[in-house]
Amino acid sequence: MTDLIVTVNLAAVYGLIAVGISLTWAGLGFLNLASGVTFAASLYGAWWAQENISDHPAVIFLGGIVVGAVAGAIICVAVFLPLDGKPNWDTRSMVASLGLSLIGIYTFFLVFGPQRKAIDLLFGTTKFKIGGTTITADKSGAIICATIVMALVVIGLVTTKTGLGVRALTQNPEGAALVGIGRKQAAFAILVVSGALAGFSAVLLSQIFYPEPNIGYLPLLKGLIVALLGGLGSILGTVIAAVLVAATEAVTVHYIHQGWVLVTQLALIAIVLLVRPRGVAGILEATRA
């Protein structure tokens, strides 16, 4: 049962990051490797809010989300906009985002020091029982929050004008231009929202891990794996993929060894993609037809 809780928590975190990566990549063709530093920055933002404003959970979450959104805006202005359309821009923007990530992560190292910072338990310490297993409030709180946020993202994508613009962009960039969807404006929206999502998931993850500078890489890698497995641009595919990837992680840690997690997860991707190159989204499409 603990495995299940861990799985769902990880799935929530990975899924939120993966949605950001998926939309950025499908919509803009930009593989954002700076989401790692966005993650780290949001953790520090949440911690700073806790220390200097208030330790109310909403404030802490907001600290993470706002800093994440700002980081996304910085990435848009510093990396995407200057390079979009230039020769080799897809490789260059990927590498530039990596460089920005290095600068950011190690600046935090300098400013805040290598010690870990603790973020309070946000959901209180109440426990309750389901089927004989104790579930703490923090784990279930994380799941509930993540579900709400994901639902908000989906609602935003489906009902708002900007949401339609983003979805259109992920389907056909030329068609999007023809109907008046501006790439630069869409990029800003996509990167800010991805940043906010990464920020939110960072705070969720802080309930399990302490904030420290190097925490950025692994979630990024996992987010990438989930995004690819889910099928770029498909939210539903990404959510399902997040669950699969997180389950694989929990099972591997339990039955084999932590060091093999990446291997099993990539084996999972390999198997699914060999069968359906479009990932989980491809499986969904096949069953719909």
Partner 1 sequence: MTVILEARKLSAGYGPLRVLHEIDLAVAQGERVGLVGLNGHGKTTLLRSIMGFVDWRRGEIELNGKSILRTPAHRLARAGIVLIPQGDALFPGLSVKDNLDSGAFAGNWRERKKRRERVLQLFPRLADRLGQPAGTLSGGERRMCSLGRGLMTDAHVYLIDEPSLGLAPGIAAGLFSTLRELEIGSGALVLAEQNRTLLEGWIDRIVRIHGGQVVGIEAGSGSTDGGPAAAREQEEGE
Partner 2 sequence: MRKLLTFRSAGDATFWGGCLAAALILNFIVYDNAVFSGHWVVFALFASINLMWMLVIGTAGLYSFATIGVVGSAAYIGAWISGGSQAGEDLAGARSLNVVFVLLATAAVGALYGAIVAAPTIRLRGVYFALFTIGLAAASRALIEEQSFLGQHQGLSGAARFLSQDLIATENGRTIEFFVGLALITFCLIVYKLVDAGRLGLLLRTARESEGVARGIGVDVVRARFAVFIISSAVLGMIGGFYTSFYGSVSLTIFDFNTLLLLFAMIVVGGLGSAKGAIVGTALLLYIDRTYADIDQPAWRYIWIGIIMFAITILTTRGLVGLPSQIRAYVQRRRARGAAGEAEAVPTPSELEVPGL
Question: Which residues of this chain interact with partner 2, rule CB under 8 A?
Answer: 31, 79, 82-83, 86-88, 91-93, 95-96, 98-107, 109-110, 217, 221, 224-225, 228, 257, 259-260, 262-263, 265-267, 269-270, 273-274
| 52, amino acid identity | N
Neighbours of 69 (CB within 10 A): 23
Task: Return left, alpha or beta for 30; rule: phi > 0 is left, psi -120 to 50 is alpha, else beta.
Answer: beta
Burial of 264 (0-12, 13-18, 19+ CB in 10 A): middle
Q: How far is the CB of 257 from partner 2 (least distance, A)?
A: 7
178 is a site residue for partner 1 (CB under 8 A): yes
**Residue whose CB is less far from partner 1, 26 or 67:** 26
Task: Return left, alpha or beta for 118; rule: phi > 0 is left, psi -120 to 50 is alpha, else beta.
Answer: beta
Q: How far is the CB of 208 from partner 2 (least distance, A)?
A: 21
Which residues in the 232-261 window bind partner 1 by CB under 8 A? 233-234
Dihedral of CA atoms 70, 72, 73, 75 in degrees, nearest 10, equals 130
82 is a site residue for partner 1 (CB under 8 A): no
Q: How far is the CB of 19 from partner 2 (least distance, A)?
A: 17
176 is a site residue for partner 1 (CB under 8 A): yes
The partner in contact with residue 168, picked from partner 2, partner 1, none with C-beta cut-offs of 5 to 8 angstroms by kind, is: partner 1
Q: Are 12 and 75 in contact (CB under 8 A)?
A: no
**Residue whose CB is less far from partner 1, 19 or 181:** 181
**Rounded Cα–Cα distance for residues 137 and 121 (Å):** 9
Q: How far is the CB of 26 from partner 1 (least distance, A)?
A: 10
The partner in contact with residue 95, picked from partner 2, partner 1, none with C-beta cut-offs of 5 to 8 angstroms by kind, is: partner 2
Q: How far is the CB of 275 from partner 2 (least distance, A)?
A: 12
Task: Return left, alpha or beta for 126; rule: phi > 0 is left, psi -120 to 50 is alpha, else beta.
Answer: beta
Q: Are 35 and 22 in contact (CB under 8 A)?
A: no
| 251, amino acid identity | V
165 is a site residue for partner 1 (CB under 8 A): yes
Binding mask 114-153 for partner 1 (x = CB under 8 A): ----------------------------------------
175 is a site residue for partner 1 (CB under 8 A): yes
